[in-house]
Amino acid sequence: MTAHRFDSTVLREYDIRGIVGQTLREADARALGRAVGTVVRRRGGSRVAVCYDGRLSSPDMEAALVDGLSACGVTALRIGMGPTPQLYFAVHHLDADGGVMVTGSHNPPDYNGFKIVIGKQAVFGEDIQAFGSLAAAGDFEAGEAAPEDHDVFEAYIERLLQDFDGPSDLKIAWDAGNGAAGPAMRKLAERLPGEHILLFDDVDGTFPNHHPDPTVPRNLEALKEKVLQEGCDLGLAFDGDGDRIGALDNEGRPLWGDQMMLLLARDVLKERPGATIIADVKASQILFDGISELGGRPLMWKTGHSLIKAKMLEESAPFAGEMSAHLFFADRFYGHDDALYAAVRLLNALGTWGGSLAAFRDSLPQVVNTPELRFPCPEERKKPVIEEVRSRLAAAGAEVDATDGVRVREGQGWWLLRASNTQDVLVARCEAPDEESLARLRASLDEQLSLSGITSKEH
Ligand SMILES: [Zn+2]
């Protein structure tokens, strides 16, 4: 195979993603197969697990990817269609030397992409760019291998159920949003005790009911209606490829990533007192303070699921998560973000809590916060603006955390400004005990933005 160039927008920080037929084609999938196969061969490996999501373009992309792997002499272990965490599970279960997931995650139907594991670790940053360099140079290993079919579905469901010790009388509404988690969600619900109501569990790559992104409130409307109508104890939802979870309490109100984490942290810290728990800079102060109160060691880290995963390994943290609702368990599990596994642990944690999910939600300190605010900013200005804001605040004696952008404590609240890893925007969030303080924080943020010439009128 000769050299291949990927569209310049396709190789991103955490994954590979493009618009099918425009920036991403089967030729890209084939070249990626060769590049991944080459890296695996050069590390002494020979077997790579492959899985694909429910998008219309996914089967063809998978076939081209498998072609590329085979042409390197790497055996593709094809596990068929499933959510991303099923691929991660297969890498462990089949003891593969890597894995590739064909998925457009929660993006619109015309998108697709790839998430890659080398050895047992998710690949990100420069290692993703390296696939592009190998392809551009046509620097590929050559060989011949026949793909193998492997059915890991039952083993995967068994593994999820293995750690269930929650209440047996829960009534639960589930929503897969017609994403790839549907069949596993259905099987899991079937095998769990209690009463289960399933929504949109058929895989349909056109996403006819709602977009499979449970961090957006309007995508939880149907689930909310079911929870209220049927008097459920909770509602659970999954994103298009099953690595992010959404939850509604028994009153139909969402629990965001940091709120779910605090409930889950109670269980983790009971078994592992003093453990380190990692959350990204977008998470509420309530979470970090709550972890401390439970006797744990809270650690704030950079946003981005690959970065969180890497930090988790470095710190031997049993549990980590993001506001975007990627939840990672190394406690009893493999350390990756599996939303179905997180659902099982959430049921356990609800049992430990003993009350309703609404009561848990109401037990948290009340705060008001802004949604994620996004401000357009040219790529080359992103880092300088953050640096300018940081040094102005430092000069003024403000309490600034520079883990990822600037996170500033002001009074009883805080605000965050960081550069998006994936888009030409600055991202901000403010949180305060009341509306009045929130308005003050928002004014501080706006002032800093305008001092750096960024228009603070929201994107
Ligand atoms: Zn996802």
Least confident of 38-42, 58-62, 79-83, 452-456: 452-456
* Phi, psi of 380, rounded to the nearest 5 degrees: -75, -10
- Cα-to-centroid distance, 241 and ligand 1 (Å): 5
Task: Verify whether residue 105 is a known catalytic residue.
Answer: yes
- Cα-to-centroid distance, 254 and ligand 1 (Å): 18
Instruction: Answer left, alpha or beta for residue 33, where phi above 0 means left and psi between -120 and 50 means alpha.
Output: alpha
Confidence of residue 457 (pLDDT cuts 50, 70, 90): low
- Cα-to-centroid distance, 165 and ligand 1 (Å): 26
* Tokens, residue 16: 């590979």
Give the three-class secondary structure for 267: helix
- Cα-to-centroid distance, 105 and ligand 1 (Å): 4
Nearest to 30 by CA among 68, 56, 72: 68
At 1 the pLDDT is 62
- Helix spans in 149-298 (H): 153-162, 182-191, 221-230, 257-271, 285-293
Give the three-class secondary structure for 268: helix
Q: Are 272 and 246 in contact (CB under 8 A)?
A: no
At 423 the pLDDT is 82
Least confident of 238-247, 345-354, 365-374: 365-374
- Cα-to-centroid distance, 337 and ligand 1 (Å): 9
- Cα-to-centroid distance, 283 and ligand 1 (Å): 19
- Cα-to-centroid distance, 402 and ligand 1 (Å): 27
Q: Between the CA of residue 271 and those of 53, 165, 318, what are the distances in Å? A: 35, 14, 10
Percent of the chain with pLDDT over 90: 92
Nearest to 407 by CA among 288, 293, 309, 325: 288
Residue corresponding to tokens 């960024």: 454
Residue corresponding to tokens 């439970």: 294
Residue 17 forms beta bridges with which residues?
A: 113
- Cα-to-centroid distance, 67 and ligand 1 (Å): 25
At 372 the pLDDT is 86
- Cα-to-centroid distance, 85 and ligand 1 (Å): 9
Cβ partners under 8 Å of residue 58, min gap 6: 52, 81, 102, 103, 112, 205
Does residue 458 surpass a pLDDT of 80? no
Confidence of residue 66 (pLDDT cuts 50, 70, 90): very high
pLDDT digit string, tens, across residues 163-208: 999 999 999 999 999 999 999 999 999 999 999 999 999 999 999 9
Average pLDDT rounded to a whole number, residues 370-399: 94
Does residue 422 surpass a pLDDT of 80? no
* This prediction's pTM: 0.95
- Cα-to-centroid distance, 37 and ligand 1 (Å): 24
Which entry of 58, 105, 420, 437 is annotated as an active-site residue? 105
